[in-house]
Chains A and B, each alone.
Chain A
Amino acid sequence: MEKRVTFKGIWLPILLVLPQIVITAVFFFYPAGQAVWQSLFIPDPFGLSMQWVGLGNFEYLFSDPYYRASFVTTAVFSILVTVVSMGVALYLALLADRLIKGAGAYRTLLIWPYAVAPAVAGVLWLFMFNTRVGVVSWYLGLLGYDWNHVLNEGEAMGLVVVASAWGRISYNFLFFLAGLQAIPKSVIEAAAIDGAHFWTRFRTIVFPLLSPTTFFLLVVNIIYAFFETFGVIHTITSGGPQQATTILVYKVFSDGFVGQDLGSSAAQSVVLLFLVSILTVVQFKFIERRVHY
């Protein structure tokens, strides 16, 4: 029996997918094409004319120490965001999995931060750590620690990592909890009878059985850290101090719209386009070949 819906003509199916195609074309293909095109030119400051430079923008870009430093910054930032958000989420999921009473309330509360937009999350953390009026920095001051993420690069990085990871913990928590609850209870009990204590069981049984979830979250979180943390960085540090928190996506914005170097900004977009393509391929390959036990 044919389970798919079949159409007789060609026009109805086209009409049905048209909205999606139009949206993709207008908001993705057109700007992406523009970026590729613009990356080959240098416009004059008033945008009246463009000069063909071929791959000159890319050559300039990769010889720019700030751009290369931005790669390192992005890597450090992404790894930290991923490790922090996944580590905390896994820990909380392990606790929630053992919980019997009040599990529903606990889960609901943990999921809330996911509903907060990145820029708003950034502002929340900024208020708490504001060097003059922030409640956390004030208490740190009482303890004798002078918190100043506006001047201190490490503190700035730490703050944007925490603010970015915070909302993400909810998302990861949901997946980890679902993964943990999919492990049959009797397998854990069998391991307990076999002599494995909690930590041994986690290391030899739970974590291996959770690996499909973990790998999925790893890819998704890296992509998140790469591209969706713009709002957090913009509101908290604007990429500073001294570009210490300027990740690749932020540099596209600051070079293009603040620095008005549209050619370089376009070239950076193209580089990012390549990066995201690679990550997407990895992700899809993985999802299709997802390990099932």
Chain B
Amino acid sequence: MATVTLQNVRKSFGKTDVIHGIDLDIADGEFIVIVGPSGCGKSTLLRMVAGLETVTSGEVRIGGKLVNDVEPMDRDIAMVFQNYALYPHMSVFDNMAYGLKIAKTPRSEIEERVASAAELLQLEPYLHRKPRELSGGQRQRVAMGRAIVRKPAVFLFDEPLSNLDAKLRVQMRLEIKALQRKLGVTALYVTHDQVEAMTLADRMVVMNGGVADQIGKPLEVYADPQTAFVGGFIGSPPTNFLNAGLIPGLATGNTIGIRPEHLVLGADGRLQTTVAYTEALGAETLIHCRLPDGNQITARQDATQRIPAEGETIGIDWNDGDAMLFDAGGRRTGKV
């Protein structure tokens, strides 16, 4: 168990700056998710905490101790990789016991720790198999087991679920959350999937182009995005962005963002639109409408509400309290 502190952490590869100064304080036992599109530097940031990448400038502290120049093995961390990175020539047992054997842990303790991890992860029947004889989900569990048995101060996850199919991903997501709660270990989790970020995180870090756009609790970030990027990235379907000039009483050049669930369809409204097409998802239906200026806007309706037909002309409206105003640079300037 430990805190992790990042202080103005920067990373450059040659002349290319990848991470432009990140500050982050992670409390003991906290589950932090770093989320962002590919290429935003989130994996690089995680690898710097792991010690697999050098820190160009700034400070990384684990448990209060400066670890910029500490080898990965001495940082008291464990990492789960996207491709699991299991040792292909070793059995599941040996994969999990590897770190303990190197640390010269007594044989009886190794067996005890591996057995309890295997029990926790329902891996007991597979301990003597090789990784290639396991399914994707089982390999994922072995990778987790390898991290657990070492009882590290910090868990690092690098997109651990992205190689799994959708159903298994949901299941493993829940298991990871439950496991982290149970063990109480500080966790740093990188993903490009905003649903994983929303569901797993105590606090999430939304990264964009090497900068942390916003750090906060998932629902706070969702309700109150600080930049247009965060508003667009978090939430599915994404926030609608409208040129403020379209709406009477607002200055042009600004943008307003409204979440699909906040749009109200009706005969009247501040905007008149044509329904382009609808997507019925069961419990809800997405209604994609075309605005007079050609842009598209998406509204979400519950199954109980009336669903307009494609081609129908309808009015769209919203509460001013739900509209978010962004300036030309994408910065949040407040409510409308």
Q: Residues on A close to B: CB < 8 A?
A: 184, 186-187, 189-197, 200, 204-205, 208-209, 293
Contacts and interface: CB of A to CB of B under 8 A. Distances in A.
B136 to A, nearest CB: 16
A293 B81 CA distance: 18
Contacts of B50: 189, 193
B72 A186 contact: no
Sorting the interface of chain B by its residue count into under 10, 10 to 19, 20 to 34 or 35 or more gives 20 to 34
Given A192-B72, A193-B77, 7 more contacts: A186-B81, A186-B82, A192-B73, A196-B98, A200-B102, A204-B98, A208-B89
A209 B90 CA distance: 10
A205 B87 contact: yes
A198 to B, nearest CB: 11
Interface of B: 50-52, 71-73, 77-79, 81-83, 85-89, 98-99, 102-103, 132, 146, 150
A12 to B, nearest CB: 43
A196 B81 contact: no
A200 B81 CA distance: 21
B89 A196 contact: no
A205 B88 CA distance: 9
A194 B88 contact: no
A194 B85 contact: no
Contacts of A192: 52, 71-73
Contacts of A209: 88-89
B102 A189 contact: no
30 contacts: A184-B83, A184-B85, A186-B81, A186-B85, A187-B87, A189-B50, A189-B79, A189-B85, A190-B79, A190-B81, A190-B85, A190-B86, A190-B87, A190-B146, A191-B87, A192-B72, A193-B50, A193-B52, A193-B77, A194-B73, A194-B99, A194-B102, A194-B146, A194-B150, A196-B73, A196-B98, A205-B87, A208-B89, A209-B89, A293-B132
A195 B72 CA distance: 8
Q: Which 10 A-B pairs have the closest CB atoms?
A: A194-B99, A293-B88, A186-B85, A190-B85, A195-B73, A195-B102, A186-B81, A193-B72, A208-B89, A187-B85
Contacts of A190: 79, 81, 85-87, 146
Nearest to B80: A190
Nearest to B81: A186
A195 B89 contact: no
Nearest to A185: B85
Nearest to A190: B85
Contacts of A196: 73, 98, 102
A43 B79 CA distance: 75
A204 to B, nearest CB: 8
Nearest to A291: B89
A190 B103 CA distance: 15
B52 A189 contact: yes
Contacts of B146: 190, 194
A193 B87 contact: no
A226 to B, nearest CB: 31
Contacts of B83: 184, 186
A33 to B, nearest CB: 46
A143 B265 CA distance: 97
A293 B95 CA distance: 15
Contacts of B73: 192-197
A193 B156 CA distance: 11
Contacts of A195: 73, 99, 102-103
Nearest to B158: A186
Contacts of A191: 87, 98
A229 B300 CA distance: 79
Contacts of B71: 192
Contacts of A193: 50-52, 72-73, 77-79, 99
B161 to A, nearest CB: 16
Nearest to B82: A186
A293 B150 contact: no
Interface centre among A186, A190, A191 (most CB of B within 10 A): A190
A184 B81 CA distance: 11
Contact of A293 (B82, B89, B98): B89
Nearest to B94: A204
Nearest to B71: A192
Contacts of A189: 50, 52, 72, 79, 81, 85
A272 B102 CA distance: 47
Nearest to A292: B132
Nearest to A200: B102
A184 B72 CA distance: 18
B133 to A, nearest CB: 11
A197 B73 CA distance: 9
A189 B81 CA distance: 9
B96 to A, nearest CB: 10
Nearest to A208: B89
Nearest to A293: B88
A196 B102 CA distance: 7
Q: Give the one of A194, A195, A205, A293 with max B CB within 10 A.
A: A194
A205 B87 CA distance: 7
Nearest to B131: A293
Contacts of A204: 98
B291 to A, nearest CB: 46
A195 to B, nearest CB: 4
Contacts of B85: 184, 186-187, 189-190
Contacts of B52: 189, 192-193
